[in-house]
Amino acid sequence: MSNWRAVVERAGGLDFDSASRDLAQLREALDRMNSLMSAATPSQQHGFEKRVAELKAPKKDVNALILDYLTMEGYPKAAAKFCKEANLQPQQPDPSIHSRQDIQQAIHSGNIETAISALNKLDPEILDTNPELHFSLLRLQLVELIRQCGSGDVTPALEFASKKLAPRAATNRDFLNDLEQTMSLVIFSHDSLRPELRALLSSDLRRTTASKVNEAVLLRQTQRREAAIRQLVRMRAWAETSARGKNKDLPESLQLGLNADSAEYGESSHEAMITT
């Protein structure tokens, strides 16, 4: 699953055209997955693989899965192109994917105020009902402010923190910790930070916040958090772990067939145990 994300994110996550190029890869991968199973010669085939080979995923379903992925992850242009190519009905109206995309883009480029405003335009209830999400956005905004101040005057950051973040921190232990941690960025030099503080300044924080926002919006709009394929991958991993746990007769290793590197499996099976 991490590979899947990598396929898209390699292109910077925001480049629509390269996303559609990756899409071709994606589909190839899925096709390969099918053919990999059926290609093996019957004589060496494990009983399980034989059964897999007999099952054919209908092309329609595979296409729907891909469209779902593109829509949910927020690639409107790629989704539109794919729809045209595969002759599918769009899953969500274009504007809704677009506004999600805009919000993502604003967060990724550190423009949090725009993002909050756009989010309110899309659906004001999201931030109203989700204090955690609102807090993480505001904290990200604080980080951006501190970053802008650099070693200069930190007054704007301090004011922002005391007006917008501190009131909330009083209501929740976790908020308080996060705020304190963030505020220490004001004190210490940015060049020699401890790793957990350095993480705040890296683009990871933007990325995780952006995906939190995306999930929240999706949940409001579709009652789902993530693309269906993520769940499928986890389910497959869970099934494999539990089958192995019960000593069912399985081949040594089961590959997704996405690429030659099969180490991916170890990690996603851990995740599977958490989510199911």
Contacts with another protein, residue ranges (CB under 8 A): 92-93, 95, 116-117, 120-121, 124-125, 127-131, 134, 162-164, 166-174, 219, 221
Rounded to 5 degrees, what are φ and ψ at 126?
Answer: -60, -50
Find, among 100, 6, 26, 101, the residue nearest to 66 by Cα. 26
Cβ 78 to another protein shortest distance, Å: 21
C-beta closer to another protein: residue 169 or 183: 169
Residue 229, C-beta contacts closer than 8 angstroms, at least 6 positions apart: 4, 65, 66, 68, 69
3-state secondary structure 211-257: HHHHHHHHHHHHCCCCCHHHHHHHHHHHHHHHHHHCCCCCCCCCCCC
Q: How far apart are CA 110 and CA 115, in angstroms?
A: 9
CB 4, min distance to another protein, A: 25
Give me the least distance between CB of 202 and another protein, in Å please: 26
Tell me whether residue 125 or residue 204 sits nearer to another protein (CB atom).
125
Q: Quick one: 9 or 123, whose CB is closer to another protein?
A: 123
Q: How far is CA 240 from CA 54, 62, 255, 270, in A?
A: 19, 21, 11, 11
> Toward another protein, which CB reaches closer, 82 or 135?
135
- In the complex, what is the shortest distance from the CB of residue 187 to another protein, in angstroms, rounded to a whole number? 20
Q: Which is nearer to another protein, 90 or 257 (CB)?
A: 90
Distance CA 67, CA 80 (A): 9
Q: Which is nearer to another protein, 52 or 115 (CB)?
A: 115
- Minimum separation from the CB atom of position 77 to another protein (A): 18
CB of 65 to another protein, least distance (A): 16
| DSSP character at residue 58 | -
Q: What is the DSSP letter of 1?
A: -
Complex with another protein: residue 92 or 105, whichever CB lies closer: 92
Angle between helices 203-222 and 112-122 (to 10 degrees): 0
Dist CA 211 CA 213 (whole Å): 5
CB atoms under 10 Å from CB of 110, counted, come to: 17
CB of 169 to another protein, least distance (A): 7
